[in-house]
């Protein structure tokens, strides 16, 4: 698989904040060149400390009573607000989920899909989108049509009920032309797993209907965390597919209660104190450095790496202004193992024969130079 060289302006990487330095807040960086946030983000020390304190409080004080439940809900509200800031949304438009896939499933299961409906997707989608689409085919009889990623906006047809695709492709970091997609007229569900926390996301400016994101990747939160944005005028079209405590307004009469106001009705069960605590601590580290700085530095580092790899003769996969860089390798899995032995953590995309690096704001220019020299 060969890719052409794309013209790309390589921005200068700005220096990280100090006192304490941004990098020092991620202990793994003292041991490894960590370039795998597209799978799992590095854990900030502040998150480990916060979780340790949370567990100690639960251990010594117990998890009982109204005060404890109120604390859970307060933590969830704070986490919801944090995700809303990262998405450019309002808190009332955001549900707390366990993953991007959970958000995708929530939308597909909540919509009244029917035989004859078409869902349009791309040839670069993660199983987190494709597996829920498989279920939609089997359960609702919809047709799923797969087209090349870059051509997707031009493939929308009158019978297209929904476009479900990545904001940033997990394969090589291409960025969807959402404006062109929106102008095509079909409702849009974006998989933001490689965008939320990595690049600037403003769901209102994007004009999408639904946006599902992960917490454990670029947000550096725990596994089993994420968020789902639902445009306010689409919310009532979604019947909560997995209803629970957060889904209803009147907890004294659950059987007859109306649904809770806002997208919180789609939350993934009762919020976890540990999940919210970790997510909030990680968000505070990233937001404290400044989201614009975090996004800009990561994108600049990825552009630098892409340029260095091309200069060394590597075929770099097509990419946009994102934080992912992928390049071809004769044996991608073997290359990942070789780099790990040298202290550099990347991953493979076996189906595409690619090695993928995830460049974060925490990545130094020296680390980028080191990977390029080893590749």
pLDDT digits (tens, 9 = 90+) for 79-111: 999 999 999 999 999 999 999 999 999 999 999
Confidence of residue 11 (pLDDT cuts 50, 70, 90): low
Does domain 23-44+290-374 fall under CATH 3.90.1150.10? My reply is yes
pLDDT digits (tens, 9 = 90+) for 121-150: 999 999 999 999 999 999 999 999 999 999
- Residue 20 in this model has a pLDDT that exceeds 70: no
pLDDT digits (tens, 9 = 90+) for 190-209: 999 999 999 999 999 999 99
Tokens of 373: 């020299």
pLDDT digits (tens, 9 = 90+) for 61-71: 999 899 999 99
Confidence of residue 9 (pLDDT cuts 50, 70, 90): very low
For residues 99-110, one letter each, b for 16 or more C-beta atoms within 10 angstroms of the residue's C-beta and e for the rest, the string is bbbbbbbbbbbb
Residue-averaged pLDDT of the chain: 94
Q: 257: closest CA among 240, 273, 271? A: 240
Give the mean model confidence (pLDDT) for residues 314-324.
98
Q: Cβ(189)–Cβ(164) under 8 Å?
A: yes
CATH topology of domain 53-287: 3.40.640
Close Cβ partners of 94 (under 8 Å, ≥ 6 residues apart): 80, 83, 84, 87, 227, 228, 229, 263, 264
Close Cβ partners of 72 (under 8 Å, ≥ 6 residues apart): 270, 271, 272, 273, 276
Q: Cβ(39)–Cβ(347) under 8 Å?
A: yes
The pTM score is: 0.94
- Amino acid 64: pLDDT: 87
Q: 373 vs 201, 204, 344, CA distance in Å?
A: 32, 41, 12
- For the chain, which residues make up each domain, given as ranges? 23-44+290-374, 53-287
Confidence of residue 321 (pLDDT cuts 50, 70, 90): very high
- Residue 240 in this model has a pLDDT that exceeds 90: yes
H or E segment to which residue 331 belongs: none
- Amino acid 4: pLDDT: 35
Give the mean model confidence (pLDDT) for residues 325-330.
97
pLDDT digits (tens, 9 = 90+) for 45-61: 999 999 999 999 999 99
- Amino acid 12: pLDDT: 65
């Amino acid at each position: 698989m060969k890719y052409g060289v794309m013209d790309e302006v390589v921005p200068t990487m700005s220096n990280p904040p100090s006192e304490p330095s941004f990098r020092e807040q991620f202990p793994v960086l003292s041991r490894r060149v960590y370039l795998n946030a597209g799978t799992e983000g590095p854990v900030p020390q502040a998150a480990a400390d916060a979780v340790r304190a949370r567990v100690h409080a639960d251990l010594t004080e117990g998890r009982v009573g109204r005060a404890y439940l109120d604390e859970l809900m307060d933590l969830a509200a704070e986490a919801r607000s944090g995700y809303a800031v990262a998405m450019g949304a309002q808190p009332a438009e955001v549900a707390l989920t366990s993953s991007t896939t959970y958000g995708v499933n929530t939308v597909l299961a909540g919509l009244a899909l029917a035989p004859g409906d078409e869902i349009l997707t791309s040839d670069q989608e993660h199983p987190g989108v494709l597996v829920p689409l498989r279920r939609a085919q089997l359960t609702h009889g919809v047709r799923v049509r797969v087209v090349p990623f870059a051509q997707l906006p031009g493939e929308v047809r009158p019978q297209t009920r929904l476009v479900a695709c990545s904001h940033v492709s997990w394969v090589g970091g291409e960025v969807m032309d959402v404006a062109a997609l929106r102008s095509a007229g079909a409702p849009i569900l974006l998989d933001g797993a490689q965008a939320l926390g990595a690049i600037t996301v403003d769901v209102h400016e994007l004009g999408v209907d639904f946006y599902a994101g992960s917490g454990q990747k670029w947000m550096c939160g725990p596994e089993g965390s994420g968020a789902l944005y639902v445009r306010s005028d689409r919310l009532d079209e979604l019947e909560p597919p997995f209803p629970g405590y957060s889904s209803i307004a009147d907890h004294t009469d659950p059987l007859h209660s109306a649904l809770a106001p806002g997208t919180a009705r789609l939350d993934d069960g009762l919020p976890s104190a540990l999940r919210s605590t970790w997510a909030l601590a990680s968000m505070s580290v990233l937001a404290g450095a400044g989201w614009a700085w975090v996004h800009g530095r990561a994108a600049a580092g990825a552009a630098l790496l892409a340029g260095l790899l091309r200069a060394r003769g590597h075929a770099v996969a097509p990419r946009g202004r994102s934080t992912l860089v992928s390049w071809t390798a004769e044996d991608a899995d073997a290359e990942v193992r070789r780099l790990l032995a040298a202290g550099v953590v990347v991953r493979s995309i076996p189906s595409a024969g690619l090695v993928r690096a995830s460049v974060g704001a925490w990545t130094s220019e020296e680390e980028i130079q080191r990977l390029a020299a080893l590749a």
